[in-house]
Amino acid sequence: MSSPPDALLPRVTGLARRLVARFRPERITLTPPPTTFTDGEDREVRVRAYDERDFESLVGMYDDFDPSQRAQGTPPLAEDAIRDWLDGVLDGPNVVAVADGEVVGHVMFVPDGTGRHELAVFVHQDYQRAGIGTHLLAVGLEHARREGVEYVWLSVESWKRDAQRLYQRAGFSTVNPMGAAHRMSRYL
């Protein structure tokens, strides 16, 4: 039994929209902090500028971070090393994602000594693939822009295609696609 021609058009149109969304995903729009949203797991998450009172919760998130998800040696593995590392990376603009009173995500903009900032995004493994990284990028980039950051760069492993697509949606371009890590950057 075939569908009448009138019923076929909405099905084809819906399929076409899904295909376009898959190959041309929606751009990430910069968002001023703070913002609250419900993530893909129906949890309320607040994304806001880092405050010194977040330090212990941030240490706890990194201390519980799955070592297999470390990127380029970060975060460090021991609590003392995490504290030392955070002392160095908290110099630039930072944004955290908070759920149930605990930090579950962090985006940092670390000054590199050349007037540029290196970006790094971490989301605790229990909160990944729920939209938190996208919101961290949107709020983090706008917060960094307001704090005077003009140029942001990052390194991402060549095999992490999902992360590369996320950064592309946030306006990053690949500067150096060679080797084990790709360098991506953008102006704010």
Q: What is the CATH number of the domain that holds 42?
A: 3.40.630.30
**Residue 4 domain-assigned (yes or no):** no
Does residue 126 fall inside a structural domain? yes
Higher model confidence: residue 60 or residue 2? 60
Task: Report the length, in residues, of the chain.
Answer: 188
25 in any annotated domain: no
For every residue of the chain, DSSP letters joined together read -PPPHHHHHHHHHHHHHHHHHHHSPPPPPP-PSPEEEE-TTS-EEEEEE--GGGHHHHHHHHHTS-GGG-BTTBS-SSHHHHHHHHHHHTTS-EEEEEETTEEEEEEEEEE-SSS-EEEEEEE-GGGTTSSHHHHHHHHHHHHHHHTT--EEEEEEETT-HHHHHHHHHTT-EEEE--SSEEEEEEE-
Written as six digits, the tokens of 14 are 């819906």
In a domain, 3, yes or no: no
Q: pLDDT tens, 16-54?
A: 655 555 555 689 999 999 999 999 999 999 999 999 999
Residue 7 lies in a domain: no
Within-domain flag for 2? no
Half-sphere exposure of residue 24, counting CA atoms within 13 Å on the CB side? 3
Least confident of 64-73, 116-125, 138-147: 64-73
Structural domain includes residue 16? no
User: What pLDDT was estimated at residue 74?
Assistant: 81
pLDDT for the residue 114? 94
Q: Is the pTM of this model over 0.85?
A: no
Cα separation of 31 and 172, whole Å? 16
Q: Is residue 1 part of a domain?
A: no
Domain count along the chain: 1
Domain containing residue 162: 31-187
